[in-house]
Amino acid sequence: LSVSTFNQYLRCPLSFYYEQVLKVPTVFSEAATYGTAIHNALQVYFEKVFTMPRAGFPPAEVLVSLFEQELQRMAGYLSPEAFRYRLQLGRQHLPGYHRQRQSVWHNKGKLELEVKQVEVNGVPIKGVIDKVELLKGDQARIFDYKTGSLNENKLRRPTPAKPYGGIYWRQLVFYKILLEGIRTRQYQVVEAGIDYVQPDQNGNYPFQTIGIDQESVQQMKTWIREVYQQIRAHDFYQGCGEEHCNWCQFERIKRQAGSFSDQQLEELDDR
């Protein structure tokens, strides 16, 4: 169970069924393609830093060049107009991001850390953490990059109106559990944050961090077990009912076919 599948099931079990169980093919959106190019560029950039920490941080031009290479590699997912727009957007945002973040960056850590074989209450969980900064001893900070606009609600703790909290809050708590669950090395996550690569209206690049208490950790572990049990019970036929949900819309408008057999092919009788 990853944080993506966990969140997808919470949002809409029906979407989970179509995309995770039936594996219906989906196409990268323009925004997702851009976000992946940004992520990959940052990964390669910090690999250079972590490999040679004494060399310092390369200039912003290096980061922009890496982004251009990554976006070009993914150009097949974009129309020519979308490619030009996203290329300009990255060129516009990354220098400012580099300028505002450079003074607080660490030169020691791990990137795109893939964690598997962690078990929580009998549930296997996995994930890829964008960036782990290694501090003193076993202490660590975890970050996830976002290329969208700042949304305060996505990082809010649970409330009576939103009992599961914001989607980014759940993601960071999940990642804390994941990282601290590694058996081969001990980590203590002291801080977790969302690092926005898109500026706000004032030209600032939001950087939101949260502390994660044990109550939040235990609550998340309970939800992980409950969601996993519901998935194992095949309890994913009730959709979210939201108008913007593609799969709920599909369920509402699809024709109920009596059979998916093809009569003309059956008449050929060549099987």
Q: Spell out the domain ranges in the chain.
A: 3-232
Q: What is the pLDDT of residue 252?
A: 81
What does DSSP assign to residue 157?
A: P
Q: What is the pLDDT of residue 11?
A: 93
Helix (H) or strand (E) holding 124: strand 123-134
- Residues forming a β-bridge with 196: 146
Cα separations (Å) of 248 from 17, 154, 221, 245? 11, 23, 28, 5
Q: What is the pLDDT of residue 251?
A: 84
Q: What is the pLDDT of residue 85?
A: 98
- Residues forming a β-bridge with 118: 125
Q: What is the pLDDT of residue 246?
A: 87
Q: What is the pLDDT of residue 34?
A: 96
In the predicted model, residues of the chain with pLDDT beneath 70 are: 255-271
Alpha helices in 59-197 (DSSP H): 60-73, 80-101, 167-180
Q: What is the pLDDT of residue 212?
A: 94
Residues 206, 156 contacting (CB under 8 angstroms):
no
Instruction: Report the CATH architecture of 3-232.
Output: Alpha-Beta Complex (3.90)
| DSSP codes joined into one string, 36-74 | HHHHHHHHHHHHHHHHSGGG-PPPHHHHHHHHHHHHHHT
| Total count of residues recorded for the chain | 271
